[in-house]
Amino acid sequence: MASRRWLSGPAQEQPEGVTGHRDHQLATSAARFVAGQAGIALLGRTLPQEVADRLNAEFGTSFTGRDPAACRVVEPMPRERQYRPVACHAGQSSDTPVLWRRLELLADHEHLRIPE
């Protein structure tokens, strides 16, 4: 049986890049290309359906959620680790409360899925 190798960090696997931001979509495309060339699987960040539904209802967004059973990996994510890269995205994080609400709803966990 062939062994599976994983990227060293989760790459956004949904075509919309979870957030729908163009740079995230491009990063997702690049990660898929690299994984395909290297023969490795992607571990993709996703949103549980309940979180996506709440964000869409509260903000009129179009997040795609997944059934909790499809979120096969739930990892602790101390939010302090995320605040540094968020600070580098000031244009995407300071103008909208969506990011902060998403982090609040997810608490200290990220939900990941293994694409089939």
The pLDDT tens digits of the residues spanning 22-53 come to 777 787 788 888 888 888 877 778 899 999 99
Instruction: Specify the pLDDT at position 17.
Output: 54
pLDDT at 2 (0 to 100): 37
The pLDDT of residue 46: 86
| Residue burial 7-20, b: 16+ Cβ < 10 Å; e: rest | eeebbbbbeebbbe
Instruction: pLDDT band for 13, please (50, 70, 90 cuts).
Output: very low
Q: Tell me the Cα Rg of the chain.
A: 14
User: Which 3 state secondary structure label does DSSP give 2?
Assistant: coil
Predicted local confidence at residue 1, as pLDDT: 33
pLDDT > 60? residue 77: yes
CA-CA distance, 91 to 105, in Å (whole number)?
22
Mean pLDDT of 47-70: 91
With H, G, I as helix, E, B as strand and everything else as coil, classify residue 45: strand
